[in-house]
Amino acid sequence: MTILSNEQLLAHFPELASLSPDKLSSVVLNANIYVLGQVNLPDPVPEELRLATAMVAKDMAQEKRVTSVKQGDYQESISYSSNDPKVQDILLKYSKKRGQKLWMI
């Protein structure tokens, strides 16, 4: 399931229309993957979560930090951290709750 489409990103940030279609798709995909890894996705997707994903995509479009690339089966690792408190608050609101680990001896 995706949170944000290319069209929705452009609706939030029209200035990103200057990106090539491939770059735009790549940025949206990376932002969706990043946010999906951080949150439990409710159905339907709240507009504030779409906005947070759009803000992450905008940041990624401006400076993408690839930390590693593997040949063969293509794999790419991206380093990203948001310093925007609004994005952090929204992601925290929908964050995956990690339960305590129970250790059996």
Residue 15 is assigned to a structural domain of this protein: yes
Range of the domain at 84: 6-93
Could you give the number of structural domains in the chain?
Answer: 1
Give the Cα separation of 84 and 73 in Å (integer). 34
Answer whether residue 105 is part of any domain: no
Q: What is the pLDDT of residues 49-97, one digit of tens each?
A: 999 999 989 988 886 555 555 566 666 666 677 777 888 888 888 887 7
In a domain, 64, yes or no: yes
- Structural domain includes residue 10: yes
Looking at the domain assignment, is residue 101 inside a domain? no
Q: What value does the mean pLDDT take over residues 24-47? A: 88
Helix or strand or coil: residue 39?
Answer: strand
pLDDT for res 72: 65
Comparing CA positions, the residue from 39, 66, 63 lying closest to residue 50 is 39
Residue 100 included in any domain: no
| 1 in a structural domain | no
pTM greater than 0.85? no
